[in-house]
A and B are shown apart, each in its own frame.
Chain A
């Protein structure tokens, strides 16, 4: 049951008879009349319980995009329902409006569309719809809440996909290049082709040259071997979802930046023919994508990442070597998307790095705070000088941890939230070019 503004106005109009008659009985009479009218109106209102609801929702939406969420209301009763309907979306679903005015003739159905612009990853739900049905006099309404669960899956935005075309182009450049600079232990033999000026003379295949005679010039043409970057390597990304990943830098939590870099790296590596496996881990595995390739890999990645929030626990690094072993026994590029803040906090990471670097190529990627760099140059007054000193100390800590990581045989990639995903992709390409995978 709910009252309308008309009820209040009607009650307030009672001031006229009360003043004219000038007694308590006028008041009592008026209140009785209004209450009686409301009761009659309420009894005469069509039942909102006779409405059947189905939802028609998009299965997935990328964070930052808008989608249309439909709800189809059909009136199974015998009377027209007038009133209001409320769709109880969670606040972070970003519904443009949660209320619609309702006019539902008997036996008909209407679709109510709500534009959702979610502002958080994960499953955004609406568990029920509430319908208010107004009586013929419009002074009282019947209300019923109908349990209508529905949800949309909000995926990570993958904004860094704008970097993908340029990186793919650079990846293609690696293909078919002679081994001028890129020849290494891991490069694979690709094909033979004719020597052109500028090729490394060391890559001339004399045996092939001897076997071959140039059909046009008649004379022997030099033949060089070409190399392509090795394929079918393993890339294992471990995303740290522990408490340090809850830190927000430039309005983006660390874990979101880690997801962005992972997505870009996975897109790139799967195009380059490598196998990508991703595990999100803090004290236990929060998400795992293994053995997927191509489009399936990306959709499974975003689906897995959608629901993962940072956990306020310390990451258990001692379990990570075993985790990597469970993914692959081969040599792999192991990317640890975590944060390197202070020697104290990185102790767990540093302790297990030797185990990983023994068999794998390890890359530690971490977000740096651009405001720290800004703070160093801000020295206008006493407070800002102390702040600059603290910022220098923070950078020093990062530098020390980075140095320790490099000493243990791993590599470090750092960057601001916008820079880190392309930086990680570039490092991957560089490693691939150098044949270090």
Chain B
């Protein structure tokens, strides 16, 4: 008889270390590291061999894509025009200043990078300036005598003017912005009502041509209508062409209306990210393998009882429910009255009637005959059954 568990103790000896060594982990990873290095080298060499000079910028002379202008630049070069493609203002100015009177400067400032002073600097060294799709700041600064006046619906307009390039082109596609001439010496082409898609403003020292659209010069659209003729007519007039697309490098100085950002902000944000990651590693590093345990299944025994009760209630099975209550109560009352388990229902009712003084008819109604029509009935019968049971118990065993 072991009333108490014996105090025997058991020794277990420790075994091998299951954590892999750094060396073996590294050996396992070596294969993948080598693969990754090979892939990187392959990618870099591919880029180096196929040339990296391609640009993705719109209207770039080195962009062979749909919205590039490589085709136009190539044709101009074949025609003997010396084309420069500077990406900075300084380069553009030096290219333009080399031979100002035989040079056409094209400015396409898509992102409106250049500020007023820079625009003026550029304008001062270029007697022939063509602004492709200028923004508000550009046109306001350099051509104050014309205003932007809405957009063209179709974009397909006819020249209807005397400018040689435009007249040869006939009609072009891709005109977006229209301009109104407010005075000064200006010629308008590609009119829609009293607005023009192309305006040439002439002053004593320079001519500035404004083209209200850039699509007609792209590789994708240059062959439509007279686009190519217009392009060659505009850009092929002189021996030198400075095809200047301002880049982010031109955006110097503080932009207007923006609060200065301290230079340490970005590094601090990066540092905060690194701290967060290292805190995650600090707290999240698992202290050994996860412990697993098989748990046995245990179910609450009263689940079936609850389920059956809900089933009765859902189907409003009052008769069934009341019958159960009646059978239970009759059995208990029969025991209380000292009747055997095999006693008939009439015997039980007779005994209850004798003990409590209730009439047999009333008892028969309560215990057998009546059917509950509603839940309220069921509640009432249930209460009456409980009352009867307690009165029988009280009558048989008075305290």
Binding site for B on A (CB under 8 A): 1-5, 7-8, 11-12, 14-15, 18-19, 21-24, 26-27, 30-31, 49, 52-62, 65, 84, 86, 88-92, 99, 126-130, 132, 143-150, 155, 161, 246-249, 253-254, 267, 270-271, 294-295, 298-299, 302, 309-310, 312, 341, 369, 371-372, 375-377, 379, 381-383, 385-396, 399
The 15 listed contacts between A and B (C-beta, < 8 Å) are: A2-B282, A2-B285, A2-B287, A15-B268, A21-B264, A27-B267, A54-B13, A57-B10, A88-B288, A150-B12, A310-B297, A310-B298, A369-B305, A383-B313, A395-B328
B14 contacts A129, C-beta separation under 8 Å: yes
**Which one of B301, B302, B331, B375 has the greatest number of beta carbons of chain A within 10 Å?**
B301
A312 contacts B297, C-beta separation under 8 Å: yes
List 15 additional A-B contacts (Cβ < 8 Å) besides A4-B282, A369-B301, A392-B324. Answer: A2-B285, A2-B287, A18-B267, A19-B268, A30-B271, A52-B14, A56-B9, A56-B11, A146-B14, A247-B299, A383-B313, A386-B313, A387-B309, A391-B305, A394-B304
B17 contacts A49, C-beta separation under 8 Å: yes
Binding site for A on B (CB under 8 A): 1-3, 5-19, 22, 262-264, 266-268, 270-271, 274-275, 278-279, 281-282, 285, 287-289, 291, 293, 295-302, 304-306, 308-310, 312-313, 320-322, 324-325, 327-328, 331, 375, 378-379, 382-383, 386
* Neighbouring A residues of B22 by C-beta, 8 Å: 1
User: Chain A residue with minimal CB distance to B310?
Assistant: A386
Specify which of B15, B268, B312 is in contact with A18 (CB 8 Å cutoff). B268
Question: Nearest-CB distance from B110 to chain A (Å)?
Answer: 29
A145 contacts B18, C-beta separation under 8 Å: yes
Specify which of B10, B12, B264, B324 is in contact with A22 (CB 8 Å cutoff). B264
* Neighbouring B residues of A393 by C-beta, 8 Å: 308, 324
A302 contacts B2, C-beta separation under 8 Å: yes
* Neighbouring B residues of A143 by C-beta, 8 Å: 19, 285, 287-288
* Neighbouring B residues of A246 by C-beta, 8 Å: 296-299
B270 contacts A12, C-beta separation under 8 Å: no
B299 contacts A248, C-beta separation under 8 Å: yes
Q: Known contacts A382-B379, A385-B382; is A7 also within 8 Å of B306 by CB?
A: no
B302 contacts A147, C-beta separation under 8 Å: no
* Neighbouring A residues of B285 by C-beta, 8 Å: 1-3, 143
Specify which of A3, A55, A92, A298 is in contact with B12 (CB 8 Å cutoff). A55
CA distance A271 to B15 in the complex (A): 45
CA distance A60 to B7 in the complex (A): 8
* Neighbouring A residues of B18 by C-beta, 8 Å: 128, 145-147
Specify which of B10, B13, B264, B327 is in contact with A392 (CB 8 Å cutoff). B327
Question: Nearest-CB distance from A379 to chain B (Å)?
Answer: 5
Specify which of A22, A59, A155, A369 is in contact with B9 (CB 8 Å cutoff). A59
**Which one of A59, A371, A392 has the greatest number of beta carbons of chain B within 10 Å?**
A392
CA distance A2 to B286 in the complex (A): 9
CA distance A59 to B304 in the complex (A): 40
* Neighbouring B residues of A369 by C-beta, 8 Å: 301-302, 305
CA distance A148 to B262 in the complex (A): 56
Q: Known contacts A144-B17, A248-B298, A298-B1; is A390 also within 8 Å of B308 by CB?
A: yes
